[in-house]
Copies of this chain bind each other. A is one copy, B any other.
Amino acid sequence: MLDKGLSVGEAQAAFSNINRLSGGIASFLGKVRDDGETQALELTHYAPLTEPAIRELAQEALSRFALDGVLVWHRIGVMTRGQPIVLVMAAAPHRRAAFDAVDFLMDHLKSASWLWKREKRGGTWEWIEPRAEDRLDLSRWT
């Protein structure tokens, strides 16, 4: 969980370098989309829950797929459109394992994420309730 901007390029380069002898690296970068209304969004988390949950999720991916390594990054704090929210990478000897691991991590990241979001529209911050949010999230990630 990072409260500053993800340096996506640096992370990708570092991960690729650490896993330089892996056959392949799959990755997914999720960004704040432009819905034409939202000026900014803020994600708050509760570290005692999110950090072990994400570590455990990464561990589960490592045990479930034949991987050389995984990376799971999630932004918290205030973000604007175009900025990265999530970066997931998996290095593996085989493409299929790398792909499936990234997919698995993305699918399960939400259930591991104790995150509260508010969005700024027309200058006003509003907390996003899950009902409306489910739809928004699905359209962002799925």
Residues of A that sit less than 8 Å from B by CB: 8-9, 12-13, 16, 20-31, 33-34, 81-82, 93-96, 98-99, 102-103, 106, 139-142
Contact = CB atoms under 8 A, between A and B. Distances in A.
Contact of A16 (B24, B29, B139): B29
A83 to B, nearest CB: 8
A21 B82 contact: yes
B12 A98 contact: no
A55 B20 CA distance: 28
Contacts of A9: 9, 12-13, 16
A108 to B, nearest CB: 13
B16 A34 contact: no
A65 to B, nearest CB: 14
A21 B99 contact: no
A28 B26 contact: yes
A81 B28 contact: no
A25 B9 CA distance: 13
Contacts of A20: 31, 82
A142 B25 contact: no
Contact of A142 (B8, B95, B102, B140): B95
